[in-house]
């Protein structure tokens, strides 16, 4: 099992550019989520999904779009990058079955810099 994978690991964007951060998991988890990590602020939830075709907003959704067309993939789109979106982004997944542990499995993160 690869677990949760994220690409790219590092990215530099210019203000106004768009891009997609990729996230995939091979554990057949229904729940997937995106966080951003900023110094002194911990991890903040951007968007999450409880299954294919179902997404919802987290704490800081503005400037980001998501979609979930398959169980495995949950891409995060930055429509028009801004310097305030410079951060480390984590994708995570969790099972929602009857024996749900509520534990999240995290990807390795993507460090994004917007200049």
Partner 1 sequence: AQTVTQSQPEMSVQEAETVTLSCTYDTSESDYYLFWYKQPPSRQMILVIRQEAYKQQNATENRFSVNFQKAAKSFSLKISDSQLGDAAMYFCAFTSGTYKYIFGTGTRLKVLA
Write out the two tokens for 108: 């390795």
Nearest distance from C-beta of residue 16 to partner 1, angstroms: 27
88 counts as binding partner 1 under rule CB under 8 A: yes
Write out the two tokens for 114: 């917007």
Neighbours of 83 (CB within 10 A): 10
Q: Are 95 and 31 in contact (CB under 8 A)?
A: yes
Q: Which of 5, 22, 44, 82 binds partner 1 (CB under 8 A)?
A: 44
101 counts as binding partner 1 under rule CB under 8 A: yes
52 counts as binding partner 1 under rule CB under 8 A: no
* Beta strand 76-78 pairing with 19-25: antiparallel
Which positions lie near partner 1, rule CB under 8 A?
A: 31, 33, 35, 40-45, 48, 50, 56, 58-59, 88, 90, 92, 101-104, 106, 108-109
């Amino acid at each position: 099992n690869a677990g949760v994978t994220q690409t790219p690991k590092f990215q530099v964007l210019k203000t106004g550019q768009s891009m997609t951060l990729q996230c995939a998991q091979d554990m057949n988890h229904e729940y997937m989520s995106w966080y951003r990590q900023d110094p002194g602020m911990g991890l903040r939830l951007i968007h999450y999904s409880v299954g294919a075709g179902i997404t919802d907003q987290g704490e800081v959704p503005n400037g980001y779009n998501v979609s979930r067309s398959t169980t495995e993939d949950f891409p995060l789109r930055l429509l028009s990058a801004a310097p305030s979106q410079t951060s480390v982004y984590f994708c995570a997944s969790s099972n929602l079955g009857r024996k749900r542990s509520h534990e999240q499995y995290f990807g390795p993160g993507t460090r994004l810099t917007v200049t």
